[in-house]
Structure 1
Amino acid sequence: MSITKRGKLAGIGLQFFADPSYGADRLAEIEARLAAIPAELEKEGADLDALKTEVRNLKEERKRIVDAAETRKQILNDISSGGGTVVRTLPNQQEERKLTPDTEEYRSLWLRKLQGKELSDVEQRAYTNANGAIAVMTANAIMSVVRDHAPILSRMTVIYSAVNLTYYVEGTNNEAEDHTENASITAAADTLTKIQLVPAEIVKMIQVSEAAKLMSVPAFEAWLAKTLGEAIARKINSKCITALLGSAASAGTAIDTASVQALLGSVKGEITILCNRKTLYTKLLPLQDNSKSSIVRFDGGVAIVYGVEVMPDDNVPDDTVAAGDLSKLIGAMAEDVTVRQGYDIDTNSTKYLGVAVFDVKVGLASAFAKLTAGG
């Protein structure tokens, strides 16, 4: 067989699929040729290099034919067993498999859908297959804004759940005891406090004109995340502060040095002070006495009172200072914020509804106390 003829056989795998009998015939030819080559090697003047190359090419060709036969057999088995869809590789199907909610491509199409822009057939199918689920990256962007504007979330205990649940918080915790060797040991009378959490929707609706369609996708996402995220964070802050102050015991009705000392001494754990900015600057800051000791100091813009960090929150009423262990504040929250969209024909505008699911309860009332001037 000449080198020219061998060169024409490069596409043997594809030819085999069109005509399976061709592969069997060709295999017989290859085996016959391989069997004849040893005799040629013994002839005087045999071109050893050419025969060596031919043997290598024949073996590679034989392997391609055998591999093609195995592939064809597997495909036929898949089809006969209902698995034919496994090998369908049309471009649009490959693209749809990539357009899942956690991909950048889905993020783009989801935001464009929210803007009211047209999607391609492939994009619309991907959106439908995902039931219009919010893009993971967009949900993360909104939640990032929520956490930035609701820093209390990072200090409290949060269970990520959108359904009603019961959570147990440590109540009475007796100290460990000395033990006399071989003496009986009685279990400590520790207690648990049961907390019922019933997450409910927190919603924020915004309404914008058709100008939203003119935004670029990144600009639209940034605007959406900021607007919805900040509003939801403010509501979460408000609910947390309301729950905390509602259970905090009164430690006094004045905000002076002695009262603040008593307040901080009445609670245990990793203590944080909460008040609004007005109270911080008009009530706590005047306690500073540089001639005696540094009661109030600032570290990187964070106020520290008697070594305890102050977390300013404008949901705390004026002339109120609370303190306690924020880990005893228990929240339940859905993992993601969702966004819904609707068109308002009366105003030719689009409405966007941000929805978070959240509930908060105080797990241990004794973990919090407060000062309320004049209260």
Structure 2
Amino acid sequence: MNRKEEIEARLAAIRSEMEDPGADLDALTEEVRNLKEELRTINETAEKRGRLRQAVAAGEGTVTRSFAQPAAEPIFGVDTEEYRTAWLKHLQGKDLNDMEQRAYTAANGAISKLVVNDIMSVVHDHAPLMERITMVYSGSKITYYVEGTNEAATDHTENATITAANDTMTAVELTPAEIVKLVQVSDAAQQMSVPVFNTWLARMLGEAIARKINEKIITAITNAATSAGTSVDAATVQALLGSVKGEGVAILCNRKTLYTKLLPIQDNSKSSIVKFEGANNAAYVYGVEVLPDDNVADGTVLAGDMSKAVGAMGEDITVRQAYDIDTNSHKYLGVAVFDVKIGINSAFAKIAAG
């Protein structure tokens, strides 16, 4: 069994393992990401080898004389695999071949788009609230309008004058500011293969940036939410959920609060207030999904329409590198820009039991 077959067999095994109630989903997710990256590298190498064979076969025979000018070698753009390799090798301090150096110089050292995509993929995986709130991808100051009062449609009598509804919009001013993560690693980082270094860099920077984004979203919602009470009991939770409305209503709390505050109000003899359902065993309280996040304070339960929180983020993430001679180590700085504001405060409520 070759390495490609081993990877495919392992991926197939993981499909079964993830259904195990005791499975470590975070570890399996990381393993799948690394296996897919290795498989992609194997496939790309095989494709290049195939193209090389074709080129050699097509060139069989003897050329007696040729006046053709040699074709100019292509310069690969920032969205190509070749440039990804060149950019990462430069970041590691490795020597570039002629083709890589030309591509790097032509792009003026711009970050590889594929590396940006890898980091953003990790950010989205570890900042799930970004998928729930309204996201605008802009790195500069922007005004976004959130729907406020929305009057219902009305019946119309034929030929009668139609009066415009008094719908309102709320302006949300967003000014993305820098979120940074600095990682420092010994000179051994230079010895990593390019694919391993790519995975390591994306994970180290992406996870840290994601945690900060989630924290900022939670802080904005907590500050905007109105109080529905100070005790986590059935009546107060009912009041909490009854005070908010919208299409994207969800509950936010940390795992400690979920298991020590919300779960104890369960009364199976009357009704199933708290349920765990689905492949991921997600929690639901009175049918409303719970999004566990450890950035929420102990004893605090937030609820609201997540779409009324608006985030703005630059499309690109910057990565900078420096060598620290004093410690013989490399420093890598990831920089993203992000801001979040609440469009309508009344869309959120909270229980702060402490």
Report the TM range for the smaller structure's normalisation. Answer: 0.7 to 0.9
Shift of 1:181: 2.5
**Cα distance in 2 for residues equivalent to 1:180 and 1:157:** 37
What is the 5 A alignment of 1:172-187? 172-187=149-164
2:210 alignment partner in structure 1: 233
Are 1:371 and 2:344 an aligned pair?
no
Counterpart residue number, 2:272 = 294
CA–CA distance in 1 between the matches of 2:213 and 2:120? 12
In structure 1, distance between residues paired with 2:213 and 2:105: 32
1:248 equivalent in alignment to 2:222: no
* Structural mapping, 1:330-369, within 5 Å: 330-369=310-349
Paired amino acid for 1:334: G
- Which amino acid in the other structure matches residue 341 of structure 1? Q
Q: What 5-or-longer segments of structure 2 have no aligned partner?
A: 1-62
Distance 1:286 1:341, change over 3 A: same
The residue number in structure 2 matching 1:171 is 148
Q: Is the counterpart of residue 306 in structure 1 residue 286 in structure 2?
A: yes
Cα deviation code 1:50-70 (max 9, x no counterpart): xxxxxxxxxxxxxxxxxxxxx
**Which residue number corresponds to residue 23 of structure 2?**
none
SS where residue 140 of structure 1 aligns? helix
Residue 121 of structure 1 deviates from its aligned partner by 2.9
Say which SS state the counterpart of residue 263 (structure 2) adopts.
helix
| Matched residue type, 2:326 | D
Indicate the residue corresponding to 1:260 in structure 2: 237
Amino acid at match of 1:284: L
Does 2:167 match 1:190? Answer: yes
Deviations 1:311-366 (A, max 9, x none): 00111000000011111111111112221111112222111000111111111111
Give the Cα–Cα distance (whole angstroms) in 1 for the partners of residues 171 and 291 of structure 2: 28
Q: Which amino acid aligns with 2:158?
A: E
Instruction: Name the larger-Rg structure.
Output: 1
Read off the aligned partner of 2:256 and give its amino acid letter: K
**Corresponding residue number in structure 2 for 1:82:** none
Which position in structure 2 is the counterpart of 1:94? 73
Equivalent positions of 1:59-208 (< 5 A) are: 90=71, 93-96=72-75, 99-208=76-185
Please say if 1:217 is aligned against 2:194. yes
The aligned amino acid for 1:354 is: G
> 1:145 & 1:89 partners in 2: Cα distance?
43
Deviation at 1:178, TM superposition (A): 2.2
Stretches (4+) displaced over 4 A: none
What residue in structure 2 maps to residue 81 of structure 1? none
Percent sequence identity over matched residues? 66
SS of the residue 2:74 aligns to: helix
What is the identity, as a one-letter code, of the residue corresponding to 1:360?
V
Residue identity matched to 2:338: F
Q: Calculate the TM-score normalised by the size of structure 1.
A: 0.74
Distance 2:327 2:169 in 1: 55
In 2, the alpha carbon distance for the partners of 1:202 and 1:112 equals 25
Match of 1:94, SS state, is coil
SS in structure 1 opposite 2:161?
coil
- TM-score, normalised by the number of residues in structure 2: 0.78
Following the alignment from structure 1 to structure 2, what is the Cα–Cα distance between the partners of residues 149 and 142?
A: 11
Inter-partner Cα distance in structure 1 for 2:109 and 2:287? 49
Which consecutive residues of structure 1, in runs of 5 or more, have no partner in the other structure? 1-10, 18-87
Equivalent pairs counted in the alignment come to 290
Higher percent of residues as helix: 1
Structure 2 counterpart of 1:278, which letter?
Answer: K
- SS of structure 1 residue aligned to 2:250: strand
Distance 1:131 1:278 in 2: 49
